[in-house]
Amino acid sequence: MASANSSLNIPSNQSPLLLLNNMSNLMSTKLDSSNFMIWKLQITAVLDAYSMLDHLDGSIPKPDQFLTAETGIQAVNPEFLVWSKKDKALLSLLYSTCSSSVLAMVVGKSSSQEVWNTLEERFTSTARSSVLNLKLELQSIKKSGNESVSSYLQRIKSVRDKLSAVGVHSDQEELTHVILKGLPKEYAPFASAIRTRDTVLSLERLTVLLQTEEQSMNEITDSLPNSALAMFVSHNKPHFNGNQGSNRGRGRNSYSRGRGRNSSFNQSFSSPNPSSQYVPQYQQQQQISSTTQSPQATYQGKNERPTCQICWKMGHYAIDCYNRMNFAYQGKNPTTKLAAMASASNLHYTQGAETWLTDTGATDHITANANNLSPQAPYQGQEQVSVGNGQNLPIQNIGNSQLHTKYHKFQLRNVLHVPKIASNLLSVHKLCLDNNCSCYFDAKKLLIQDLPTGRLLYKGQSSNGVYPIQSHLFHSIANKTACVAHSISSDKWHLWHSRLGHPSSNVLHNIFPCFSTVPNSKSVIEHCHHCLAGKMHQLPFPISNKTVTSPFELIHADLWGPAPVTASNCFRFYLVFVDEFTKFTWVYLLKHKSDTFQVFTQFRAMIETQFSLPIKILRTDCGGPQNTHISTGLCPTPTGTVSAPIIDLLSPLTRPIDTHVSSLDSLTLPTGPIDFAVPEPTATPASSTTATPASSSPVPLLTTAPTPVPEPISTDIPLPNPISHPMQTRSKNGIVKPKLTYAALVDYTLTEPPSYTVASKHSKWCTAMDEEFQALQQQATWTLVPLPDSKNVVGCKWVYKLKHHSDGSIARYKARLVAKGFHQQYGVDFEETFSPVIKPPTVRLVLSLAVSLNWPLRQLDVKNAFLHGTLKEEVYMTQPQGYIDPTHSDYVCKLQKSIYGLKQAPRAWFESFTTQLLHLGFIASSADSSLFIYKDNQVIAYLLLYVDDIVLTSNTPSFLDHLIHQLNSIFDLKDLGSLHYFLGLQITRSSSSLCITQSKYAQDLLTKHNMLDCKPASSPSCPNVRLSVHDGDLLPDPHAYRSMVGALHYLTFTRPDISFAVHQVCQYMSAPTTTHLAAAKRVLRYIRGTFNHGIEFTPGPLHLSVYTDADWAGDPDDRRSTSGFLVYLGNNAITWSAKKQPTVSRSSTESEYRALAIASAETCWVRSLLQDLGIYLTDPPILWCDNVSALAIASNPVFHARTKHIEVDFHFVRERVLRKDLVVKFVSTVDQLADIFTKSLPTHRFLELRRNLTVNVPKIEGG
């Protein structure tokens, strides 16, 4: 212990010079103009270790140089001498660690503290002046194609350190988002996995994960070279064969299970099943290229852009394609195959089958001789070949071929067999694409050159204006061997192979040297079924003849595990589901094998919820205990497959589950797949008839080989196709269960009927139609007249609507007779159509005044409001269905009053109602024409009109009763009592406050877009992220996006916290992309967690205060600024806005001043509205702004070169300030409440500002 203590006391005992020597040895970095943060970090650590940092930061004050004794004599202070010696040592240390350019900055400084403060002030102030540029630089950092992850993260860390130097600290979640945003699309699955984590990763942990992902992607790129892409030939959708893997067993990247090598090629082209002879073109290309294409012809570099296998566009993978789950996507199939040079009537250049004409206008290789194709399959498409003379020639077959020239053999893929074509045509594009070569044409010759090696592959002469290629036998050494091998009959090889007891190829070559020249003899052996069967541990699965026509008709399931190495999160198994139709794959990680059934239940629920389609058949192997939950007995069928009892997946299991597994283990089962079939319902949901398959290969989560699972015992089934089986089954003995069917019954007492025919069968809807018709008759809406000549007749129809309470229960059944206004003609039966409605700020202002003044609020509803409007034009309508006058069935209705559906109906009703209000003594507000004010002596009343919904408030409750009685004598009104549900607003009033929410509207919105069970988000938008028109891929159908965003816009009536997020997504209504849709869905996720949030009005003093702010050049597309303001009346938020400015601002001051002018205009409007209501403010409104320059312009009438162009806004604000209509004051950015309307804020800052805007209102029960 003594030695330890002495070591700790060394710094205080050593001399300053010795300390200087020790510290200078520890400093490895000299300060220059770019590394202040690193230098400061290093030197502060050294000084802190030697307990000398207090000397620099001023914690130890400088002692007096002289001490005065009691006798008045001055003496040198010993403490000052010690301090001075230490200061000189520190000053020498600082000088020794500074570069020459930095030393020039501190010339003349006498103490170490002065040097330290000078350096810190110089470099930190320089950084502060570029904070905005550093933030923009941080947001714009992108990872380039060749850049490593380490270099990319270092660039981000460098910018972050520069921000930290000036006190701007980046949130860990914000920094994670910046890193993920800058990654290319290849990292999209990785970024999605990180974003969905519940916890925020540290930068170091994220760095390790990113480097691991980069290494995995490099290994996959090295092992999987890209193959050339093939073109679509037909409109038929390619269905990928599930047995295309070339690995054995249950290894990685293998779709097939069991043993065997490269069996997909043989099964595809050698299948005895006639229905499986045709293989789609993409599958042919993958299979043929695996056996015929040379590595030089298929290899492509790592850095080439990927190509999607769904839409065939470059730049993204299939997993990122927005058409992945779009089953109606047709792809980019060309409608016809072009062959511009070919002509069925031109026989001048018709050559033999061995002559090919090169054609730069042909999209495919075309031949007239079917013998040139090997293998060949019937062409299944409906397309034809268009030739130069305008004819369309039919296509019979499709296949692959080879073009033998003198020194090279060219591969021709997907050659079309067109019998009527005059010449064999060679597509130059596909020739170069498939053989990785280039073609050179001039007036006399054609040259074909290999791109990787530069070797000349073919040289030919032009003839009569074309460039023919003659097919020859191969003359190279390899081709000579091929010719000899070709002469040896394959049957002879098999004959001697069988006679000698199936020896290996080496033994056979030693006995018959002539066989040693057979190329690829290994592939010949694979055709010996006896050798393959003898080496197999179990028989192969029979070829599946199951065809599917829609998604989720057949689901394959497989369970892998246990893993030899347990993951850190204890996962040891994974369960894979593959859809047969789309080939889309889902992977679920499991901790225990017994979790299989629970995961399957969740998977089935997810499919039925998101896609509204049932799983009809679940296919698994006879894998073991995990299947016992969904099967109770198995029996082999005569065909060698295993059939399972019918399990109803459409309803939950109602009997106990037997977990005993010995019954399965004791069965002797063949190794074929098991199908769990679902009963076919009578009315199944309509599925798309076309779909583009999305190939998603299952990737093992562990790189080690999986532990082998015991395989079931297989019976001895003859090869290749089993015919019968001795086991007795129920079907053999005639025992058949009746087929279960389900009828689709809709209860139209809970659902709105689609037509009169359906509604007329239900008494409640008939009663509603009778009430509507009687009301029309009482109002004398029409008279029956013969149809005049040359008059337009408007149709009509019944529309049905269920009215609900705020809790969702049914209030009443409503039937409405609606005219088909789209039959009207402008100038014939309608003129003006505009009708005003109340503004949202006016509603909030009146409700706030009613709370502050303690006035009652009443609500009225006008029955058949539009029927009270008088028409000025002649309008004729057909008689309503179900109510046609039997005596005048050919008459039409001449409308005397307006009816719902007419274009002029809202305007006619508004004019009729306002006329009556004017007669009752009301006057219309000049600020809002739908607000009516009554003043008579001491009685004051306000009336808000929104179509047929009315809100009343007054300082005299008896006047409200008298007014309602007067209006009821003129119009058919329904008194709804105190205000509680108005325009989708749920209103709750107490003795001290009034709360407004839209929780029911929000819940209906989430239900409509299937987001009711989504994971809530803490904020409506990603922090510090701005959307761009170029982000993401265009949505194929923008209708759903527009409907969602339009509904969100109305939700801002009571939710100012989502105003900016909704403003962002509203800017891209014309061409929304996947990124914009994700942003809109994040708003829905935020609403999911804040259902009951709303605004609250409380009594208080009546004064106006306005907060205004702007985000300068925030839009990345046009660099326009975003303005935001928030207007308070007392303590109540009345109106707010988040809107992009119409012009580009040249400085932040200009953008802030424009926002100030916009807020001033809104404040003047609110003040005029208050004056109409009879409310006069004693104090002028206060505008709070956080920009000092904007406040200076508003108060100082001086212009300079940078403010001349905003003179109009200046005069507008300046005039209001001079007239004392407004007072402009400064507020700090921390207290600026309008900050939430201009940008996406970090979560903690957003939640802090939200507390000043919304409250959490308890759920409202009842109607």
pLDDT average per 10 residues of sequence, the chain (1263 residues): 38 53 67 77 79 75 76 76 82 81 79 82 64 78 82 84 73 83 84 80 83 80 41 36 40 39 37 37 38 38 64 76 60 42 38 72 87 83 78 86 84 88 88 90 88 85 85 47 47 80 79 60 56 75 76 90 83 90 90 89 90 88 50 33 33 34 33 38 35 36 35 38 62 72 71 90 92 86 87 89 83 89 75 78 93 91 76 87 89 87 82 86 89 90 89 91 87 86 88 90 92 92 87 90 92 92 92 93 93 90 92 87 93 92 85 89 92 89 89 67 60 80 90 91 91 74 40
pLDDT at 17: 54
- Answer whether 36's CB lies under 8 Å from 161's CB: no
pLDDT at 843: 93
pLDDT at 690: 36
- Answer whether 1005's CB lies under 8 Å from 1052's CB: no
pLDDT at 26: 66
The SS3 call for residue 355 is: strand
What length is written for the chain? 1263
Q: Which CATH number fits domain 1100-1185+1187-1226: 1.10.730.10, 3.90.226.30, 1.20.1250.20, 3.30.420.10?
A: 3.30.420.10
- Answer whether 1023's CB lies under 8 Å from 173's CB: yes
User: Distance (Å, rounded) from C-alpha 982 to C-alpha 994?
Assistant: 14
- Answer whether 183's CB lies under 8 Å from 320's CB: no
Instruction: Annotate 1220-1245 with b (16+ C-beta within 10 A) or e (fewer).
Output: eebebeebeeeebbbbbbbbbbeeeb
Phi/psi at 1078 (5° precision): -65, -40
Cα of first residue to Cα of last residue in the chain, in angstroms, is 79
Burial environment of residue 902 by CB neighbours within 10 A (0 to 12, 13 to 18, 19 or more): buried
User: Distance (Å, rounded) from C-alpha 782 to C-alpha 896?
Assistant: 5
The full DSSP string for 181-216 is HTS-GGGHHHHHHHHT-SSPPPHHHHHHHHHHHHHH
- Amino acid, single-letter form, for residue 599: V
Domain 131-223 sits in CATH 3.30.70: no
- Answer whether 417's CB lies under 8 Å from 399's CB: yes
- Answer whether 986's CB lies under 8 Å from 979's CB: no
The candidate with the shortest Cα–Cα distance to 439, out of 410, 417, 407, 399, is 410
- Answer whether 858's CB lies under 8 Å from 979's CB: yes
Cα distances (angstroms) measured from residue 314 to each of 311, 317, 321, 1052? 9, 8, 11, 40
- Answer whether 775's CB lies under 8 Å from 787's CB: no
Q: Which two tokens stand for residue 919?
A: 């007669």
Instruction: Annotate 403-422 with b (16+ C-beta within 10 A) or e (fewer).
Output: bbbbebbbbbbbbbbbeebb
- Answer whether 556's CB lies under 8 Å from 546's CB: no
- Answer whether 993's CB lies under 8 Å from 851's CB: yes
pLDDT at 1002: 92
User: Distance (Å, rounded) from C-alpha 925 to C-alpha 839?
Assistant: 12
- Provide the whole-model pTM: 0.44
The candidate with the shortest Cα–Cα distance to 394, out of 373, 371, 375, 368, is 368
CB neighbour list of residue 786: distance below 8 Å, 6 or more residues apart: 890, 891, 892
The full DSSP string for 1203-1250 is TGGGHHHHHHHHHHHHTTS-EEEE--GGG-GGGGGTSPPPHHHHHHHH
- Answer whether 893's CB lies under 8 Å from 938's CB: no
CB neighbour list of residue 950: distance below 8 Å, 6 or more residues apart: 859, 860, 861, 862, 943, 944
Fold of 337-472: Cathepsin D, subunit A; domain 1 (2.40.70)
- Answer whether 1164's CB lies under 8 Å from 1219's CB: no
Annotated domain spans of the chain:
9-128, 131-223, 337-472, 481-535, 756-983, 1100-1185+1187-1226
CB neighbour list of residue 1029: distance below 8 Å, 6 or more residues apart: 1068, 1071, 1073, 1117
Q: Which two tokens stand for residue 271?
A: 């299948």
Phi/psi at 921 (5° precision): 105, 5
The 3-class SS string of 824-839 reads CCECCCECCCCCCCCC
Q: Which two tokens stand for residue 636?
A: 């082999």
The candidate with the shortest Cα–Cα distance to 630, out of 613, 609, 615, 612, is 615
Cα distances (angstroms) measured from residue 1174 to each of 834, 972, 1056? 29, 31, 27
Give the count of alpha carbons within 13 A of 753, CB side only. Answer: 24
User: Distance (Å, rounded) from C-alpha 914 to C-alpha 967?
Assistant: 12
User: Distance (Å, rounded) from C-alpha 443 to C-alpha 58?
Assistant: 87
The candidate with the shortest Cα–Cα distance to 249, out of 641, 707, 626, is 707
Q: Which two tokens stand for residue 679?
A: 């009963």
- Look at the alpha carbons of 1246, 1247, 1249, 1253 in this order and tell me if their dihedral is positive or negative: positive
pLDDT at 1084: 94
User: Distance (Å, rounded) from C-alpha 972 to C-alpha 954?
Assistant: 22
User: Distance (Å, rounded) from C-alpha 678 to C-alpha 192?
Assistant: 34
Is the bond leading into 1056 cis (omega within 30 degrees of zero)? no
Phi/psi at 949 (5° precision): -100, 130
With residue 179 as reference, give the H or E element that holds it. helix 172-181
User: Distance (Å, rounded) from C-alpha 753 to C-alpha 762?
Assistant: 10
Q: Which residue(s) pair with 618 in the sheet?
A: 555, 676
User: Distance (Å, rounded) from C-alpha 506 to C-alpha 513?
Assistant: 10
The candidate with the shortest Cα–Cα distance to 1255, out of 992, 1003, 1054, 1100, is 1054
DSSP H helical ranges for 1090-1187:
1148-1172
CB neighbour list of residue 591: distance below 8 Å, 6 or more residues apart: 570, 571, 572, 573
Quote the distance between the C-alpha of residue 730 and its chain's center: 50
pLDDT at 724: 56
User: Distance (Å, rounded) from C-alpha 1131 to C-alpha 1253?
Assistant: 10
pLDDT at 242: 40
Instruction: Annotate 207-243 with b (16+ C-beta within 10 A) or e (fewer).
Output: beebeebbeeeeeebeeeeebbebbbbbebbbbbbeb
Give the number of other CB atoms < 10 A from CB of residue 764.
13
The candidate with the shortest Cα–Cα distance to 691, out of 238, 75, 1082, is 238
The candidate with the shortest Cα–Cα distance to 1101, out of 851, 843, 846, 855, is 851
Q: Which residue(s) pair with 996 in the sheet?
A: 987, 1095
Quote the distance between the C-alpha of residue 781 and its chain's center: 51
